[in-house]
Structure 1
């Protein structure tokens, strides 16, 4: 199955550019521009409002939803509740990024509550992931030096990436948005998340070849996402698959 992931990721990348899915991002206040630009670089269509009065309308017109818990406040909590309800009503897939829930017990409790409401994918770093109990059926993406994507005993690990990504605020948030984008065009959430993390990792490696530091890495990453082709994925994928 691991041999098939690069080919499937290549096909999904082509599908992303053809279908141009709409992705609504309930995003923390620090990184919306990077996330919107990153989605646009892959030809997805981002929207970002967190207004409780508007968010339901935007989610109803979107093909997928990302819920990111960064810079969480009362208004964002309300908007998240509305967005998740509308996604459920309309059958829209959604991904959860419990950003910095390891800093805040109330945020961790909210993340755990949201995990009971049917996200397709959880994307979290190791510290966040270890606080949460992931329900059966939710694809669990644990990011780090190697990204690990797991569901029902099956696991992909993706070794692609670049150290400079960790020095640019919002790259993890962007990877969560890419997962949501691929959920919009791939019904198999395990494959959608695996392909998204592989594509993002390869783009990070491409950006790292030209960047001289974090300041130049961010625009290089956007350029890499825009230039990314299926051939890049097939040539540079570094993955492993476990079953059991």
Structure 2
């Protein structure tokens, strides 16, 4: 992996403010190879946050579109043989064109076929891997029969697995009540070490909304298109999501009213809210 893509330090709220401004200014085009459950919500989240979604996931068009997209999301929520072929083609085209791509390994560790596909795609070098704790553990091969779809593991338990996945990517996150983000950070000797950042906040209503995690993966891809490095992109997407979810919960009565409030909050986010409500909990030691 090129050292120029590696973070020089742990992401800060100032870095996230810069990334958010770039997202709004550039409105990156994100190709989403996603699933039938999440596509609509994912597209609405991207539009509200400041990006432009394109759900191009067929083998006939996937590679051509990946060459012009600003970033690519590969989400294994409901894979079919044709869609998997499109994923392979889109990833190859994105890598060839120098576009960042994000792997969301839904169900990895719980179902053998998709687990094998996730492992195959991982070896192609995503900029970021984003999943819940069970998915991260399952993808790294550190647990068998992990539920994957609904995380039953604490994100802290996924840290060793996330470190293992950093062999193939620049940054990895395990989502949960407190998100655990890991990425490569350059040290004073010119090499890189894995470092961890935790992000608190969010809402207990998020896990009660279909495709919230999938939409977060898409937002990571959007930020990867405009951020200085993959670690900042990952942190910016998580903070954007968490702060918006907190605001939405304050104005909602339950999951049903939370969804439109969350879309509005993603759109309304500004630099002041990021600085006031973003909760970064750095881990100063290397992992």
The TM-score range, normalised by the shorter chain, is over 0.9
Decide whether aligned partners of structure 1 residues 137 and 113 sit closer, same or farther in structure 2, where only a CA change above 3 A counts. closer
Contact (CA 8 Å) 2:23, 2:51: kept in 1 or not? yes
Equivalent residues of 1:115, 1:135 under 8 A apart = no
1:98-139 C-alpha deviation (Å, 9 max, x unpaired) = 112233011112111111101010001111111123142521
Following TM superposition, by how much is the alpha carbon of 1:187 offset from its aligned partner in structure 2, in angstroms? 3.6
* CA distances 1:189-211 after superposition (whole Å, capped 9, x unpaired): 11110111111111111111111
Secondary structure of 2:42's counterpart equals helix
Contact 2:72 2:94 in 1 (8 A): yes
* Structure 2: gaps (5+ residues): 1-8, 141-164, 184-192
SS of 1:9's equivalent in the other structure is helix
Secondary structure at the aligned position of 2:126 is classed as coil
Equivalent position SS for 1:136: coil
CA RMSD of aligned residues (A): 1.3
Deviates more, 1:99-108 or 1:110-119: 99-108
Match of 1:235 in 2: 276
Alignment of 1:19-58 (within 5 A): 19-58=26-65
Which whole-Å CA distance do the structure 1 matches of 2:38 and 2:168 have between them? 29
Higher helix share: 1
Match of 2:215 among 167, 171, 174: 174
Q: Distance in 1 between matches of 2:228 and 2:60?
A: 30
TM-score of the two chains, using structure 2 as the length reference: 0.82
Aligned to 1:223: 264
When the two structures are superposed, what TM-score results if normalisation uses the length of structure 1?
0.96
- Pair 1:214 & 2:214 matched: no
After TM superposition, what 4+ stretches of structure 1 lie above 3 angstroms from structure 2?
none
CA distances 1:11-39 after superposition (whole Å, capped 9, x unpaired): 21111111111100001111111111111
CA distance in 2, matches of 1:18, 1:191: 17
For 1:118 and 1:156, locate their aligned partners in 2 and report how far apart those are by CA, in whole Å.
Answer: 21
Structure 1 residue 153 displacement after superposition? 2.3
- Among 17, 23, 40, the residue aligned to 1:16: 23
Q: Could you give the per-residue CA deviations for residues 41-94 of structure 1, whole angstroms, max 9, x where no partner exists?
A: 122111002111111122111000000001111011111011001001101000
Deviation at 1:217, TM superposition (A): 1.0
Which blocks of at least 5 consecutive residues in structure 1 are unaligned? Answer: none
Q: Does 1:88 align with 2:95?
A: yes
1:114 corresponds, among 117, 121, 133, to 121
Aligned to 1:74: 81
